A and B are shown apart, each in its own frame.
Chain A
Amino acid sequence: QITLKESGPTLVKPTQTLTLTCTFSGFSLSTSAVGVGWIRQPPGEALEWLALIFWDDDKRYSPSLKNRLTITKDTSKNQVVLTMTNMDPVDSATYYCAHRLGGSSSGGTFDYWGQGTLVTVSS
């Protein structure tokens, strides 16, 4: 079955760069149409899509955060890495990675999610 798990620091200081790793199993990121996305959720707030990487290394970013985000994949390790630069306290949130189900490079749904990792930004 498909599983995903996020890992990374729980606390980062303002202006630092956050690096999160999503380690998954049950699917391959070298299979056509497969994608892995990152979504975050500040405490008590709504879900916000951040970035997504496709099997063919096509990368998509939220327009509002595009300048701060980088998403990469390591197919051999079954991992997807998200980096976010210049962290601010407003970036404190639970960060989720998720498997995207869909037949094209647009649309689709997130059918499997990791448990999430809470990141706090504070000095």
Chain B
Amino acid sequence: EPEVTQTPSHQVTQMGQEVILRCVPISNHLYFYWYRQILGQKVEFLVSFYNNEISEKSEIFDDQFSVERPDGSNFTLKIRSTKLEDSAMYFCASRALAGGPDTQYFGPGTRLTVL
């Protein structure tokens, strides 16, 4: 069964450093998402991406964040200058249809630890 994959599974970085989290969505999917989950808190929406551009972003997704689909398969989240409060689990998700209540499929997540 096709699945969303994410790398790395765990990333440790120093405050102020740039990190890139990678995701490979399910191949025929059209919508892509990033969410984050701070330890002990609920999952929060960061950004959605469709047709090679951001379709919606939350207030969390400030200028330090960017997303890119550099080729036909990868979908990346970049944090330019990490802060301690960026430590969280980051989930990538994708879904098939451009409209309608189709299900988002989540990757296993990348645990980001900022020291």
Do A and B form a real pair? no
Show the binding face of A for B, using Cβ within 8 Å: none
Show the binding face of B for A, using Cβ within 8 Å: none
